[in-house]
Amino acid sequence: MKLVKNAKSIALALALGLSAVPAWAADQRLLNSSYDISRELFASYNEHFAAVWKEKTGKNVEVRQSHGGSSRQAQAIIEGLRADVVTFNQVTDVDILHERGRLLPEDWREQLPNASSPYYSTMAYLVRKGNPKGIQNWDDLARAEVSSVFPNPKTSGNGRYTYLAAYGYAQKAFAGDEAQIDEFVKTFLSRVAVFDTGGRGATTTFVERGIGDVLITFESEVNNIIAEYPDQGFEVVVPKVSFLAEFPVAVVERHAQRNGNLDLARAYLEELYSEEAQRLLAGFSYRVHNEVVQAEFAEQFPELELLTIEEIAGSWSNAMEVHFGNNGKLDQLQRR
Amino acid sequence: MRTQSHLRIGDQPWVKWSLITLALTLVFLLLLVPLIAIFVQAFSGGVSSYWQNLTDRYTLHAIGLTLFVAALTVPINLVFGVFLAWLVTRFEFPGRKLLITLIDIPFAVSPVVAGLLYLLLYGANGWIGSRLMDQDVQLMFAWPGILMVTVFVTCPFVARELIPLMQQQGREEEEAGVTLGASGWQLFRRVTLPNIQWALLYGVVLTNARAVGEFGAVSVVSGNIRGETNTLPLHVELLYQDYNTVGAFTSASLLAGIALLTLFVKSFVEWRQARQRAALSEDEA
């Protein structure tokens, strides 16, 4: 009988599906909502934390990971994704959890050291083999024969950081002369070959389509790209001045409380500041605050002047309005 | 006798051959090359790296979850589709035409929009979702949510296949069965089902293919938790964003394999259906 046969195969498939959904032998489970390129970092850190937690409390903890663009991740948490902690790459995306959902207190940045940013990075350049155009700093990117690639600041945090870095450089170089700053940033933007919507798209444009002389992205990501395309001979250039890109972390208190994970969630984030964890983070090309680890990795992270959002635009909310809002500075400077 | 003056457009050999070449080139460039590229990329690191990516804990889970969702979606929509097709082809009632139109809503609505609608309704701030939240029931960002949107997106396939066939076949055979004293279940199993089995299978194949491959709607309600709510299509994107190209294409090759299998089964079923139709029209003649 055909129908019986079908039913049998369906039952079989069902059993297969269920058995593939494993039951974890964990005492506690934590959900970490993170940005899209942090998978390996947290896979490694979670292992470290599980060992630390086991030693401290004797309990087995399993940390589950959700990855995606951090604005979308924040939106999902507001809509009910019950993440205990967030480890994002944009401060504004954590702020939204307070503004729209009251899921954490307004002063979340004061809950942990270094404004709740256990590690940081900056915008660096990936140039083609031998750096044929001799690109060293932001003024090189405004030269007529140089074309650059980075994601659209309208849609990507990565692109916003790049824009702000160039703007901050110009503020310093022209001692605050607004007309000259605008002129420089305008030229800089006009040298962009392609504005992709996200970091991964920009990488594909630069690497696989061979467009542009320089790809501007996080210093932490540049090494991933070199590892992914070892035979291309790409080189890293860290400019003399760049933007301080913070990676904010916070406990989503409402959710963590509900999940009964408040202490665990706090411990999970606090452990990020331990020397061992900082070493692990540095191993993934992130800059860290721990001085011992800084000394160990001094060679990998050339010194540069890091500009904060406060120096460049006063605050994030101000930057979003003045620079990235409709008909804001970015829109004006992009008109050719 | 055909003469030069009776030639239609396209009868001239150069037109015919350039059109054929154009069509074949397009098929080759747009369909075949990408398909081959998937497998080339997947195996670019060698068989061992393919195997390693395939047996990765999270990839295995994504495969399991995808099969699990498809295995629930197919029977749900099978029952729903048969019931609906039977309703609109065997009975006359007010609103019947409207119902036939409504079946197509999931085809007309973009899957992302469908996902968002479910999220707005069943999410933490949604009308139903906020009440469920108080009961500690989590639908969105868990497998039930993924199942709900998948069922929604794939629900027209079975009904759409059955309705034309059942309309064509009419209800005489079933009426004969009823007069001979068949019960409802007997009627369905012995009369209706044998008549529609190939169309039904065709609908099931399409439902399954779409359920396995659905990205847009699922991506909205999934929450992207690795090893928990990450289906195979989402897993492909995640690996790609993560600079694991080989891993992404390994998972993509599984989806491509399922697609090829679907095509194969689909042509077989189409061939059987054509035979059945031929037999049907012979009977009528």
A152 closest CA partner among A162, A143, A142: A162
Q: How many CB atoms lie within 10 A of CB A61?
A: 21
Q: Which residues contact A142 (CB under 8 A, 6 or more apart)?
A: A184, A187, A188, A191
Q: Do domains A8-120+246-296 and A123-243+304-334 have the same CATH topology?
A: yes
What confidence tier does B135 reach under pLDDT thresholds 50, 70, 90? confident
B243: nearest CB among A19, A81, A228: A228
Tens digits of residue pLDDT in A234-258: 999 999 999 999 999 999 999 999 9
**Per-domain boundaries in chain B:** 65-284
Tens digits of residue pLDDT in B74-85: 999 999 999 999
Residue B10: is its pLDDT beyond 70?
no
Tens digits of residue pLDDT in A270-296: 999 999 999 999 999 999 999 999 999
pLDDT for res B284: 63
> pLDDT: is B133 or B144 the higher one?
B144
User: Phi, psi (5° rounding) for residue B106?
Assistant: -60, -25
SS3 A138: helix
Percentage with pLDDT > 90 across chain A:
73
CATH 3.40.190.10 assigned to A123-243+304-334? yes
B68: nearest CB among A18, A31, A39: A18
Residue A7: is its pLDDT beyond 80?
no
The pair of structure tokens assigned to A164 is: 């702000």
Contact between B64 and A21 using a beta-carbon 8 Å cutoff: yes
Contact between A3 and B189 using a beta-carbon 8 Å cutoff: yes
Cα–chain center distance at B171:
28
Residue A109: is its pLDDT beyond 80?
yes
The pair of structure tokens assigned to A116 is: 């709740």
Size of interface A-B (CB pairs under 8 A): 101
User: What is the fold of A8-120+246-296?
Assistant: D-Maltodextrin-Binding Protein; domain 2 (3.40.190)
A38 closest CA partner among A281, A256, A323, A326: A281
SS3 A124: strand
**Per-domain boundaries in chain A:** 8-120+246-296, 123-243+304-334
The bridge status of strand A148-149 relative to strand A287-288 is: unpaired
Give contacts of B225 with chain A, Cβ < 8 Å: 31, 64-66
The pair of structure tokens assigned to B79 is: 């029952």
User: Phi, psi (5° rounding) for residue B225?
Assistant: -85, 120
B140: nearest CB among A19, A64, A79: A79
User: Phi, psi (5° rounding) for residue A305?
Assistant: -90, 120
Tens digits of residue pLDDT in A197-240: 888 889 889 998 899 999 999 998 888 888 888 888 999 999 99
The pair of structure tokens assigned to B48 is: 């061992």
Give contacts of A80 with chain B, Cβ < 8 Å: 123-125, 129, 133, 138, 140-141
Q: Mean pLDDT throughout B26-36? A: 91
Give the CATH superfamily of B65-284: MetI-like (1.10.3720.10)
Residue A22: is its pLDDT beyond 60?
no
Tens digits of residue pLDDT in B231-255: 999 999 888 887 788 999 999 999 9
- Contact between A250 and A104 (Cβ < 8 Å): yes
The pair of structure tokens assigned to A295 is: 């000394």
Q: Which residues contact A250 (CB under 8 A, 6 or more apart)?
A: A85, A86, A94, A97, A104, A108, A111, A112, A116, A269
pLDDT for res A226: 87
d(CA A164, CA A174): 15
Q: Using alpha carbons only, how large is chain B's radius of gyration in Å?
A: 24
Q: Which amino acid would we find at residue A110?
A: E
Q: What is the DSSP secondary structure assignment for residue A22, as one 8-state letter?
A: P
Q: In what order do the strands lie in the sheet with A287-288?
A: A245-246, A119-121, A287-288
pLDDT for res B203: 93
- Contact between A252 and A86 (Cβ < 8 Å): yes
Tens digits of residue pLDDT in A165-208: 999 999 999 998 999 999 999 999 999 999 988 888 898 899 98
Tens digits of residue pLDDT in B168-190: 888 888 888 889 888 888 888 88
- Contact between A203 and A217 (Cβ < 8 Å): yes
Q: Which residues contact A116 (CB under 8 A, 6 or more apart)?
A: A94, A108, A109, A110, A248, A249, A250
In angstroms, what CA-CA distances link A216 with A152, A166, A310?
A: 11, 11, 22
What confidence tier does A2 reach under pLDDT thresholds 50, 70, 90? very low
- Give the mutation candidate from A77, A79, A259 for the B interface (greatest B CB count, under 10 A): A79
pLDDT for res A25: 63
| Nearest-Cα residue of chain A relative to residue B138 | A80
SS3 A88: coil
Chain A: give the shortest CA distance to residue B223, in Å. Answer: 6
| Nearest-Cα residue of chain B relative to residue A43 | B226
What confidence tier does A18 reach under pLDDT thresholds 50, 70, 90? very low
pLDDT for res B285: 58
Complex ipTM? 0.77
Percentage with pLDDT > 70 across chain B:
95
Q: Which amino acid would we find at residue B101?
A: T
Q: What is the average pLDDT score of chain A? A: 89
SS3 B193: helix
Q: Which amino acid would we find at residue A213?
A: D
Give the number of C-alpha atoms closer than 13 A to the C-alpha of residue A11, restricted to the C-beta side. 6
Tens digits of residue pLDDT in A123-137: 999 999 999 999 999
Residue B158: is its pLDDT beyond 70?
yes
